Structure 1
Amino acid sequence: MTNVNEGTAALVLGASGGLAQAIVSELMADAGIDTVIAVSRRAAPEHFVTAPAPPMWIETEYSEPAMAAVVEQLQCFAGRITRVVICHGILHSDSLWPEKRLEDISAESLQTVFQANSVVPVLWLKLLHRLLKSKQRCVVAALSARVGSIGDNHLGGWYAYRSSKAALNMMLRTLSIEYGRRVKNVKIISFHPGTTDTALSKPFQASVPSDKLFTPEFVAGRLCGIMDKAEIDGQLSYLDWDNKAIPW
């Protein structure tokens, strides 16, 4: 990679997960990107540290002041960022599981899931807009999910995850309108990766046909291909891994 004060840059936020790491690798292999910046709560995995041209890795918490400090640290990249991928998200943890019935709903789980899936991604875009403003093309993708589609919800359940992704889609839709006025060089995509073989989907993979369980590398390649071809139109696109539109 070139000196960080030169050339174009790509930014991956929430970079420690399996799919996010694959996206970092895909962007590192893109000859049109000079510097890849990864932001995560965790330290860089060893394979990135020892890479011939490692990404710039920033560790942070996801409070708004900490995120603002990261954006300030990235001021030297102002006007040079051509790709942003927002990978934050939670579906389950040791103390949290997708709800199957009304009795499973809890305020604490709702707040945790909404904070990770809805609030943090939109705070990044609030904080980044001046950094992204430029005469050159910039594409932003946020990891959403098909289950965030209100029109496609035929099974119910998963109250927190479904609702948080629907909220993310609405906030991105609203934000894309304001970006269309103020940051006209940016295209925003709400992206459904399909069922990807990562820790997030691991407990639910048994019912997924083998040809519908994707490797992180496959999804990362599809996403970057979609971003490469996206039209800067001031609109939010809600797309799946096959570049097909999903109903709101």
Structure 2
Amino acid sequence: MTAIEQSAVVIGASGGIGAAISGALQASGRYAMVHALSRAGTGFDLEDEASIAAAAARVADGPVPTLVFVATGVLHHGFEPERGYRALTADHMLRDYRINTVGPALVAKHFLPLAPRDRRVVFAALSARVGSIGDNRLGGWHSYRASKAALNMVLRNLAVELGRTHPQAVVAGLHPGTVDTGLSAPFQKGVKPDKLFTADYSADRLLAVIDGLAPADSGGVFAWDGQRIPE
């Protein structure tokens, strides 16, 4: 497929990783258009379904989208990750679910109907290793862990359903590593220098992982190095 025939969509393009993903996709020359959507840049609001639907309608007027990358997420900003269950609050949990789980699910609801059935399409969303139930040995961070685990289930559901009608489709969660952005800034103490990534490096690695995924991988969660993360 030529660049003229396809587009890419990046949700959360004003964030560190989202901006790097958008820049890398634009530089690749693989897409006739890269839709860089964000609240700051385009008025796109992940917590407003009407905003999501309107953005999808605009994208539908151009080249068919073959990649939708949801690069959004929240960890703190008004709430500190819980060290234990006594710190749980409904407001914190619901905020994390709205942004980390419900938002990406609604993006899928409105953007996946635009996906062509006769070619490879990818729907990817930033997940996190701490969202793995099987890999959880430390506990804590209840709201963030639970919302990312729920996101992973949403992605698995999407993979099952999309696979019935789009045999070349890939749905994946992606763990970017510890990236030097505002999300990880309060939690970088103790991270080895070689494990603290720039946004550009993480973006390049994640796009390489996407390129290596096949339909048989759909529904999985993968780290920046291509390793599959336990469910």
Shift of 1:68: 0.8
Asked if structure 1 preserves the Cα contact closer than 8 Å seen for 2:129 and 2:175, the reply is yes
Q: Does 1:194 align with 2:192?
A: no
Asked if structure 2 preserves the Cα contact closer than 8 Å seen for 1:41 and 1:61, the reply is yes
Deviates more, 1:116-125 or 1:180-189: 180-189
Asked if structure 2 preserves the Cα contact closer than 8 Å seen for 1:180 and 1:234, the reply is no
Aligned length: 229
Question: What is the rounded CA distance, in whole Å, between the counterparts of 1:122 and 1:231 in structure 2?
Answer: 22
CA offsets per residue over residues 150-186 of structure 1, 9 Å max, x none?
0110000000000000000011101110011133332
CA offsets per residue over residues 176-235 of structure 1, 9 Å max, x none?
100111333320111001100000000000111111101111110011111122212373
Match of 1:150 in 2: 133
Q: Does 1:85 align with 2:83?
A: no
Q: Does 1:164 align with 2:162?
A: no
Match of 2:188 in 1: 205
Shift of 1:70: 1.1
Q: Does 1:225 align with 2:208?
A: yes
Asked if structure 2 preserves the Cα contact closer than 8 Å seen for 1:184 and 1:234, the reply is no
Q: TM-score normalized by structure 2?
A: 0.94
CA offsets per residue over residues 91-129 of structure 1, 9 Å max, x none?
001x21100122211000100001000000011111112
Pick the aligned partner of 2:160 from 157, 173, 177. 177
3-state SS, counterpart of residue 83 of structure 1: strand
Match of 2:61 in 1: 76
3-state SS, counterpart of residue 5 of structure 2: coil
Match of 2:29 in 1: 31
Name the structure with the higher helix share. 2
Pick the aligned partner of 2:17 from 2, 15, 19. 19
Asked if structure 2 preserves the Cα contact closer than 8 Å seen for 1:77 and 1:131, the reply is no
3-state SS, counterpart of residue 141 of structure 1: strand
Shift of 1:134: 3.2
Q: TM-score normalized by structure 1?
A: 0.88
Question: What is the rounded CA distance, in whole Å, between the counterparts of 1:102 and 1:175 in structure 2?
Answer: 31
Percent of aligned pairs sharing the same letter: 40
Q: Which amino acid aligns with 2:191?
A: V
Question: What is the rounded CA distance, in whole Å, between the counterparts of 1:14 and 1:197 in structure 2?
Answer: 16
Asked if structure 2 preserves the Cα contact closer than 8 Å seen for 1:177 and 1:234, the reply is no
Shift of 1:65: 1.5
Q: Which amino acid aligns with 2:204?
A: G
Match of 2:52 in 1: 67
Runs ≥4 residues deviating over 2 A: 182-185, 232-235
The CA RMSD over aligned residues, in Å, is 1.6
